[in-house]
Structure 1
Amino acid sequence: MTFRAKLLRAILAIVMITTAASLLIAQQQNATLFQSVVDRLFAEQMKSFQQTQELPIGAAKVEARRLAQSVRLFAALEEGDPEEVYKIASDELRLGEFAFFRLLDAEGKLIPPGADSRAGVFDAAGLQGEWLPHGKAGAEVDFGFVATQHGTIYRLLACPITNFDETVGTLILGQPMPRETAILLGGQFIGEGVPAALRAALMAQKEPSGRFEVDGVEHRFTRFVLNSGSAYPAADWVSVFSMAELAAQQRVLTLRIVLIGLAALVLAALVAGVLSRQLAQPVANLVKAAQSVREGDYAVNLPQTRTLELNHLGSAFNEMAAGLALRDRYHSVLQKVTDPRVAAEMVAGNIKLGGELREVTVIFCDIRGYTALSEGRDPVEVIHLLNDHMTALARIVQKHLGVINQFAGDAIMVLFGAPKSYGNDAEHAVRCAWEMMQERERLNRDAVEPLRIGIGIATGNVVAGCIGAESRSDYTVIGEKVNLAARLCSSAAAGQILVDAETQTKTRALGAFETLEPLTLKGFAQPVPAFRLAKVNPNEL
């Protein structure tokens, strides 16, 4: 995936996550706020309903006390004359908001009113609920609820009539309630406060408050007992609130947030497209430039952009490319003036000024009759001839893990075992010398000017390292074995490979060696044992 695509995807993902989080938070806050409003509404309804109960209860107490002070009423109650009882009660009472009243005797039995009584009209037939309290009322006002077959709801208040702490009767006052009231009485609803479609689901709820669903619409409810401990049947006030409006608001809110999110996505896509284009092109240029550098083309130059950070990056890359170009030129020159393996060790920092004792096999190879060959020739022609000769031999040296230490005129000096040993260095050297000789013979068959070479090989301990100064040094080896290899090379006839005794001992299994008479060599006090390499087994090449 491209950088531009990743940037665009990241920005769009952030916008989508932010939109989703905003939607979730908004919905939760809206639901919490709505729940708080519903709870407050329920609380206000309960408080209002309780206040409406306190007023008639207080009025009932007043009327009961008024009757308790009537001597005529007590006398009528003792005589058991219903018409006189209701006539006296009607004179004493102030019904006000009450629609009717009824009287009970001291035993709690109903005293029926007369036909012309002013006790108010109340048809007890077909009532939903019981309108007479069970047993005698207590010292306080007791109340319950009933509903007529015509749908009228009455609140009944039963207040005892006492004389000197003796209950002589009970006053029952009936107050009509609004039809919108919802009261659960005896397992049935009275009033129209709860729609019929919700009543079955609401009846199934066991908790005093909570929520339920009908036809996919959530409703919340609360209920509480109005007359706990009353002599009347228990009545529950019920309030139900539909959450359909909240759901509609949630849908509208969701739609708005989604639309805003889509608009933000489009805007973010446009902004991301512009920004990614500003970033993607410089990055693409940087990738292309890096590919060129990897392929060895250091002549790259990233252009300036409109982004400060990318300008810094481009400048740093340009400086790096210039530094790599300079390093490559240094390395190229270093490889030309020294062996590649020595150059690699120098670049790695493994070779420092100074020396170390190492076991090395040294090869010297030079051209026989070089002086006569070069006399009278154009120097350019001679150099061309030598370059072709040295190039062919150098390939063989590198093939056998040798290190060309130096070219000296027509001679070449090769090391095996320094600066790095590959094991069996003497064997590598013998194979290399034999192949050098074979290669030279092959070249002579097609050469206009055949060249004949002689090779000397010696093995032993030498001092290897950089010799010179910190600012300029050469990697080389010094020691008796170096001189011996050079003297053996000088003694070798054209086409001969001479080796010392130590080399012959280490490589005798490679092929056939001819033992020579000890050689008297310059710089050596005693004759030196020498051997001529006659052949190398084909499977050892």
Structure 2
Amino acid sequence: MPALTFRTKLILAMSLTVAAVTGSTLYMTQQRVQAAYQRQFEEQFRLQLTFFSERRVQQLGEIAKRCQRVTESVRITSALEEALMEDDPDLFYDNLDTEIALLTASADNPSITVIDPMGRALVPKKTRAYFLPQGTGDGRTSPLGRLVVRMSAGERRQQEIGYLTVADGTLSEFIVTTLINQATDDVLGALVMAFPLSDQGERAMHESSRQALLSGIWLDGLIHSQTIPAAMHDLLAKRVAAELKNTSSGTSRETIRVADMPHLLFHRVLNPGSLFPPAAQVGLYSMAEAVREQQQLRARILGFGAAALLGGMALILYLSHGFSRPIEALAAGTRRIAAGDFEVRVPVRGRDELGALAASFNEMAVELAQKERYKLLLAQVSDPQVADALMHGRVALGGEVRHASVLFCDIRGFTALTEGMPPQEVIAMLNEHMTAMTRVVHAHHGVVDKFVGDLIMAIFGAPKSYGDDTRLAVDCALEMLAVRRKLNAAAKQRIEMGIGVATGEMVAGCMGSDDRLNYTVLGERVNLASRLCSKAGAAELFIDEATHAALNGIFTAEPVEPMPLKGFSQPVAAFRLSLAETTGPVA
């Protein structure tokens, strides 16, 4: 995958930032809109419940008190006992015309009946307009009959108010008041008063909420409502029934989908703890308006986000151009420096951080160029291996004992050779000769210690050992002779040289004064190599005993008479190697 440019990264960062802000704003706005509508609907549902509760208190409270006063009358209990003994319900209803008229006047379209302790309704033979439709309290099989049986059994004697569906399917509100013989404290039955349940302000709430609020009553698995469409009744009834299994009191809220539109469903039990079957006030709120508002807000926010993104990208393109040009220049300058061009400079376009960075880059380039010149100069005045070791701190200042081989190579008859030769020609000849010999030394991992006139001193095994340093020194000496022979074939001036090699322990390190140091080696073996070089004839190589022993017979070496050497008290044994006598490889 190709690397992204700075400008591309900046544009991506801006795009992701705008997208994140837009998404977060959209999410938070949708949540707030939904929460606002939910609070609004909850408030409407609370108002509906408040209205319903206040209505019950105002309407049912007075009726319930009248029913309680009527049932406490001795005349009513006496009339009921007589009617039960004679098995003539009309005796009861005829004797209570005044009380019944008082009760029926307190409500619209009320129904009244009396149920005996066995749950059977006292059905009059005469037609009475106020009488509750048959089937509502016919024995233990009816909900009202079962309720009175439980009250007669003493489970609960206080007045009960609840909801039932009468024979014609109308939802009605019931007030059940026990009839008790004050003398014997026996329950003789119950006075039941019922009246149809109005819409409880459903239509008014529906209109005031711009038709978002649908409400009704749930009872016995059915929904009774004048605003909730009949097609929704089964679904809502099942959901409310399922919720009632989890909570028998209080208010429940959930979100459902009706006709592919989200709705909020609320319900609250109206008669918790009653002997009547549980009934619940149901509120269904369409979220269509909230969805439309969310869609409008989403479109606006996305529009603003797109505009912000386009504006931001235009701004980023403008700013990134000012950023990317200095950065691209710095990157190009870095690549040129990595390629060895230390003369590169980048333009300083301002006083900001990028300008300061460009200025620092130029200063760094100047310093690197200076260091490179120092490095080249160091490589010219010292061997590359030594220069590298010095720069990386691998040379032991003050000296260290190393086992190494030292090679001295000197031109034979140099004074006679250069007699009468112009100085420029002498220098050119020496430079050509020294360059060729130096390349051979480097090819054999040797270190050129110094040039002294026409003499070359090379070290093998210091500052770094390559294993068989003695073999490398001898190979180097033989190849130097071979290279010189080839050069002589085409040169104007024939140069002959002799070489001496000695091996052993010596002190290696940077030596000199505080102001100038030189990496070299010192010791008896160094002096011995110099003396052997001075004794070697043209195209001859003299090696000492230690060097000969280290070669293990690789080359055919001719022993020579022990020779007295300056600085050595005893004659020194040596061996001669010439290019013609070599049996091993030259390089």
TM-score (normalised: structure 2):
0.81
Report the equivalent of 2:233: 199
Distance 1:532 1:142, change over 3 A: closer
Tell me, what secondary structure is at the counterpart of 1:517? strand
Distance 1:95 1:354, change over 3 A: same
1:370 has 2:414 as partner: yes
Q: How does 1:412-491 map to 2 (within 5 A)?
A: 412-491=456-535
Tell me, what secondary structure is at the counterpart of 2:399? strand
Contact 2:400–2:507 (CA under 8 A) maintained in structure 1:
yes
Report the equivalent of 2:47: 44
Distance 1:436 1:65, change over 3 A: closer
Deviates more, 1:84-93 or 1:470-479: 84-93
- Separation in structure 1 between the aligned mates of residue 557 and residue 396 of structure 2, nearest angstrom: 39
Shift of 1:326: 0.9
- Separation in structure 2 between the aligned mates of residue 232 and residue 481 of structure 1, nearest angstrom: 124
1:367 maps to amino acid? I
1:153-191 CA deviation, whole Å, 9 max, x = no partner?
543434457785887973625255128462233433333
Report the equivalent of 1:537: 583
Shift of 1:416: 1.2
1:95 has 2:105 as partner: yes
Deviates more, 1:261-270 or 1:339-348: 261-270
Contact 1:358–1:463 (CA under 8 A) maintained in structure 2:
yes
Q: How does 1:130-141 map to 2 (within 5 A)?
A: 135=148, 138-140=157-159
Contact 1:131–1:144 (CA under 8 A) maintained in structure 2:
no
1:7 has 2:7 as partner: no
- Separation in structure 1 between the aligned mates of residue 61 and residue 344 of structure 2, nearest angstrom: 101
Shift of 1:59: 1.8
Superposition CA RMSD, Å? 3.4
Unaligned runs of 5+ residues in structure 2 are 84-89, 152-156, 203-214, 245-251
- Separation in structure 1 between the aligned mates of residue 404 and residue 257 of structure 2, nearest angstrom: 97
Name which of 6, 24, 27 aligns with 1:24.
27
2:195 maps to amino acid? G
- Separation in structure 1 between the aligned mates of residue 162 and residue 522 of structure 2, nearest angstrom: 128
1:330 has 2:374 as partner: yes
Contact 2:160–2:275 (CA under 8 A) maintained in structure 1:
no
Deviates more, 1:101-110 or 1:182-191: 101-110
Shift of 1:226: 3.4
Distance 1:355 1:197, change over 3 A: same
Report the equivalent of 2:163: 144
Contact 2:115–2:121 (CA under 8 A) maintained in structure 1:
yes
Q: How does 1:147-162 map to 2 (within 5 A)?
A: 154-159=172-177
Shift of 1:140: 2.0
- Separation in structure 1 between the aligned mates of residue 218 and residue 416 of structure 2, nearest angstrom: 136
Distance 1:268 1:148, change over 3 A: farther
2:480 maps to amino acid? M
Tell me, what secondary structure is at the counterpart of 1:518? strand
- Separation in structure 1 between the aligned mates of residue 475 and residue 391 of structure 2, nearest angstrom: 29
Report the equivalent of 2:64: 61
Tell me, what secondary structure is at the counterpart of 1:464? strand
1:282-326 CA deviation, whole Å, 9 max, x = no partner?
221111111111111111222223462222322222222211111
Distance 1:351 1:103, change over 3 A: closer
Name which of 218, 226, 237 aligns with 1:184.
218
Deviates more, 1:420-429 or 1:430-439: 420-429
2:26 maps to amino acid? L
Tell me, what secondary structure is at the counterpart of 1:532? strand
- Separation in structure 2 between the aligned mates of residue 65 and residue 425 of structure 1, nearest angstrom: 128
Deviates more, 1:396-405 or 1:448-457: 448-457
Report the equivalent of 2:306: 262
Contact 2:116–2:122 (CA under 8 A) maintained in structure 1:
no
Distance 1:347 1:86, change over 3 A: same
1:188 maps to amino acid? L
Tell me, what secondary structure is at the counterpart of 2:243? coil
1:52 maps to amino acid? R
Tell me, what secondary structure is at the counterpart of 1:475? strand
- Separation in structure 2 between the aligned mates of residue 491 and residue 306 of structure 1, nearest angstrom: 72
Contact 1:82–1:111 (CA under 8 A) maintained in structure 2:
no
Deviates more, 1:2-11 or 1:424-433: 2-11
Tell me, what secondary structure is at the counterpart of 1:283? helix
Contact 2:479–2:586 (CA under 8 A) maintained in structure 1:
no
Distance 1:389 1:146, change over 3 A: same
Which runs of structure 1 show a deviation greater than 6 angstroms over 4 or more consecutive aligned residues? 68-79, 105-108, 129-132, 165-169
2:12 maps to amino acid? R
Contact 1:60–1:141 (CA under 8 A) maintained in structure 2:
no
Report the equivalent of 1:172: 193
Shift of 1:265: 2.3
1:520 maps to amino acid? P
Deviates more, 1:395-404 or 1:304-313: 304-313
- Separation in structure 1 between the aligned mates of residue 259 and residue 428 of structure 2, nearest angstrom: 104
Contact 2:223–2:236 (CA under 8 A) maintained in structure 1:
no
2:554 maps to amino acid? L
Report the equivalent of 2:363: 319
1:448-485 CA deviation, whole Å, 9 max, x = no partner?
12211111222222222222123211122222222222
Contact 1:404–1:415 (CA under 8 A) maintained in structure 2:
yes
- Separation in structure 2 between the aligned mates of residue 507 and residue 143 of structure 1, nearest angstrom: 123
Shift of 1:446: 0.8
Contact 1:133–1:158 (CA under 8 A) maintained in structure 2:
no
Contact 2:77–2:180 (CA under 8 A) maintained in structure 1:
no
Of all paired residues, the percent bearing the same amino acid is 36
2:366 maps to amino acid? A
- Separation in structure 1 between the aligned mates of residue 375 and residue 334 of structure 2, nearest angstrom: 20
Contact 1:157–1:173 (CA under 8 A) maintained in structure 2:
yes
Tell me, what secondary structure is at the counterpart of 1:212? strand
Shift of 1:390: 0.6
TM-score (normalised: structure 1):
0.87
Name which of 449, 455, 475 aligns with 1:405.
449
Contact 2:132–2:194 (CA under 8 A) maintained in structure 1:
no
Unaligned runs of 5+ residues in structure 1 are none
Distance 1:176 1:114, change over 3 A: farther
Name which of 388, 391, 400 aligns with 1:356.
400
1:216 has 2:260 as partner: yes
2:439 maps to amino acid? R
Distance 1:468 1:285, change over 3 A: same
- Separation in structure 1 between the aligned mates of residue 115 and residue 552 of structure 2, nearest angstrom: 146
2:434 maps to amino acid? M
Contact 2:405–2:460 (CA under 8 A) maintained in structure 1:
yes
Tell me, what secondary structure is at the counterpart of 1:142? strand
1:514 has 2:548 as partner: no
